[in-house]
Amino acid sequence: MSLITTLARLEAVEAGRAQPLATVRHRHLTDRPLVIVPLTTAGEAGAPLGALVGTDREAPRLLAVAQPRDRDLRFAFLAELAEAVLPHIEAYADVVEPAERNETDPATGKKTKVEVELCTDAPQLIVPSRAGIEFVRLLGRSMRFRRTAEDDPETPYPAPVRVPLLGRWLTHYGERARVPGSSLLLAATDLLNRHWATGQSSLEDQHLGALLAWIDPPGDASGAEAALAAELARDKDGQLLCPPAGPATDPAFDNRLLAPAIERYDRARQALAAAEDGLTADERLGELSKAEREIRSLLARVMLPTWDRVWQGLDLLRELPEGSRAEDRWTRDRWSFTAHRDRVSSGEPPQPRRDDAVTAAQKLASRETAQAQLEAQEALDDPLVLAGRRLAGEAFLADVTEVEMAYTESKRPSPRPLVTLRTDERPHLGERTKVYRSLDGKPQTAEFVRYASGDPGDEGSGEDGPGDSGSGGSGSGGSDVVLVLRIMDRMGRGKEPAPGSLPEPGERITWTLFEHDQRGGPKLPDPEETPWTHGGPPGANAATRAEHPDPVTPEDLL
């Protein structure tokens, strides 16, 4: 946490309300996000208890499992979840626009442009909390290797038809959520924490109810009071007024309400199985569906508050204007979505349990690039984020005082103008440090040349920089430094710089010490050429590497 964030948190403590950490919204929100509020059974790995799903806040679809330890009921739940989620995903798969992609021809090694399809928009999933994202991954993992009766008629306990496909999509979304700045699958708590600083610790911020209580406290209550109520307040039955945002449930709910209800359901089911004639069976079927309705209403009662809070959070976020570069990151999400759509339609097998060495290295590299890109773009979009970078000496605001032409000493001299700047900040500049500014949305590079002797106090300090950074008070205004930069690019091909490509005296410009765009790392070898240090080529044992479905036990327990 940077000092500027800490300060915001302390201000929030004093004000009793969350303070802004961003002036624009740094994540893209689609018009129709699909919100999923999942619940899981305590102590079980892959036993969902229920979920609320939908794109309309007034009409969530309630899915529930009356007995989570029953395989058939779990499958029925997953099939229903597939019915709720897949149509939403597939609605976006067919709306495409033409786009170009660079591809290397494997035969010639030449780079060519290929015309491909790009989905014009992508489906966005929102879950309440970070644990919800993990649960989406877990659900994906538990479903994608399942076999349906169609895949293999011999398979024991075949899964419903669309379940493996949902597993592959949820896996893709879970995996994409690990890419910094991506918006395909988002947690409401992460979104809110990115944009507001509360007066509590980041651990307590994982509680959606407490977090919203700080940002948008009900009535006249202070954030701290409202958050405490959200954390602890219980009704006369000992149930939390603000149930946990899931997927884990409150133990008091499990023990006092859910367990007895499930027991009643089990008894009703046994009674139905023992029924001897049609008339009793009818009567007991009525008992069974009553028990099931009871469980459904219990689950709805603990999920609805979370459902409303997720939408409340989205409302708050929509009040912020979207950062101009968030759209660019969303385009990458669209590419990711389109690529997975293509993999599914071309009949590729589900994602493997473990990535091979090359894929893993690629994922890691792309996440690192995305992280650096996200940090740069957020700073460029948002003066408040930039302030943090300025405090760290990684960016500075400066007034242009003079522009002097200079040229390279080659046969065909190119312009390398020297720009003199005055600033009261203390960026970490060393000899030939590259700095960047945004020129019509593209970065222009400059090199640091020297500190000019504009400030008598700094005379003789040379290129090591005057004083240590961060210690100067920017408010005092008496400690300006003057520095000289050499512009390196974006001035056109001619001998004279293109018009508008140079800073003008009197202009106030933001310079950054970090790059605006991130270049990808070096190319990785093909999987067939994986070095032995990384396990060797996967081809040798490809047959054994083929992914088998998880073993199933005849017992119906998990």
Partner 1 sequence: MDKGVLATALGSPAPFGQSQFAFMRGNAFEAKVKADGGAELLRLLYERLGGGSPAPDQHAATPDLSAAGPEGRAARTALALREATAAGGWALLDHPMLALEVAGSPAYLEPDAVVVHPDGRWTVVEIKSFPMIDASADAAKVGAAARQAAVYVLALERVAAVVEGAEVGHQVLLVCPKDFSNLPTASVVDVRKQRAVTRRQLTRLTRIEDIAQTLPEGTTFDPACGPQELESAVSSVDAAYAPECLAACELAFHCRSRSRAEGAVESLGRSVRGELGGLTTVAGVLAAAAGKEGDPADPTVAALRRAAALRAEALESAALLRVGALESAAAREGAAACR
**Interface residues toward partner 1, by CB under 8 A:** 1, 3-4, 6-11, 13-14, 20, 23-24, 41-46, 68, 138, 141-142, 199-204, 224, 231-232, 249-252, 254-255, 259, 321, 353-354, 382-384, 386-388, 390-391, 470-475, 550-553, 555, 557-558
Task: Say how far apart CA 384 and CA 524 lie, in whole Å.
Answer: 37
Identity of the residue, 286 or 478, whose beta carbon is nearer to partner 1 in the bound complex: 478
Q: How far is the CB of 479 from partner 1 (least distance, A)?
A: 11
Identity of the residue, 347 or 477, whose beta carbon is nearer to partner 1 in the bound complex: 477
Q: Identify the CA nearest to 417 among candidates 516, 508, 503, 513.
A: 503
Identity of the residue, 46 or 492, whose beta carbon is nearer to partner 1 in the bound complex: 46
The SS3 of residue 471 is: coil
Per DSSP bridges, beta strands 481-487 and 442-451 are antiparallel
Identity of the residue, 396 or 451, whose beta carbon is nearer to partner 1 in the bound complex: 396
Q: Identify the CA nearest to 469 among candidates 456, 454, 455, 479.
A: 479
Strands (DSSP E) along 41-153, which ranges? Answer: 48-54, 61-64, 96-104, 111-119, 125-127
Q: How far is the CB of 509 from partner 1 (least distance, A)?
A: 14
Instruction: Count the Cβ atoms, other than its own, within 10 Å of residue 489.
Output: 14
Cα 554 to its chain centre, rounded Å, is 39
Q: How far is the CB of 255 from partner 1 (least distance, A)?
A: 5
What are the residues facing 25 on neighbouring strands?
322
Q: How far is the CB of 393 from partner 1 (least distance, A)?
A: 11
Say if CB 45 and CB 248 are below 8 A apart: no
Identity of the residue, 216 or 250, whose beta carbon is nearer to partner 1 in the bound complex: 250
- Residues 256, 259, 265, 271: is their CA dihedral positive or negative? negative
End-to-end CA distance of the chain: 41
Q: How far is the CB of 53 from partner 1 (least distance, A)?
A: 22
Question: Angle CA(550)–CA(556)–CA(558) in degrees, nearest 5?
Answer: 55
Q: How far is the CB of 200 from partner 1 (least distance, A)?
A: 7
Q: How far is the CB of 56 from partner 1 (least distance, A)?
A: 28
Task: Say how far apart CA 403 and CA 421 lie, in whole Å.
Answer: 9
Task: Give me the sheet containing 48-54, strands edge to edge.
Answer: 61-64, 48-54, 34-40, 125-127, 185-187
Identity of the residue, 233 or 406, whose beta carbon is nearer to partner 1 in the bound complex: 233
Tokens of 392: 């760290």
DSSP assignment letter at 271: H
Q: How many angstroms separate the Cα of 117 from the Cα of each of 97, 334, 462, 468?
A: 6, 11, 55, 52
Identity of the residue, 15 or 406, whose beta carbon is nearer to partner 1 in the bound complex: 15
Strands (DSSP E) along 120-235, which ranges? Answer: 125-127, 185-187, 196-197
Identity of the residue, 417 or 465, whose beta carbon is nearer to partner 1 in the bound complex: 465
Identity of the residue, 1 or 91, whose beta carbon is nearer to partner 1 in the bound complex: 1
Q: How far is the CB of 69 from partner 1 (least distance, A)?
A: 9
Q: How far is the CB of 3 from partner 1 (least distance, A)?
A: 5
Tokens of 20: 């802004």
Identity of the residue, 117 or 254, whose beta carbon is nearer to partner 1 in the bound complex: 254
Say if CB 162 and CB 82 are below 8 A apart: yes
Q: How far is the CB of 318 from partner 1 (least distance, A)?
A: 15
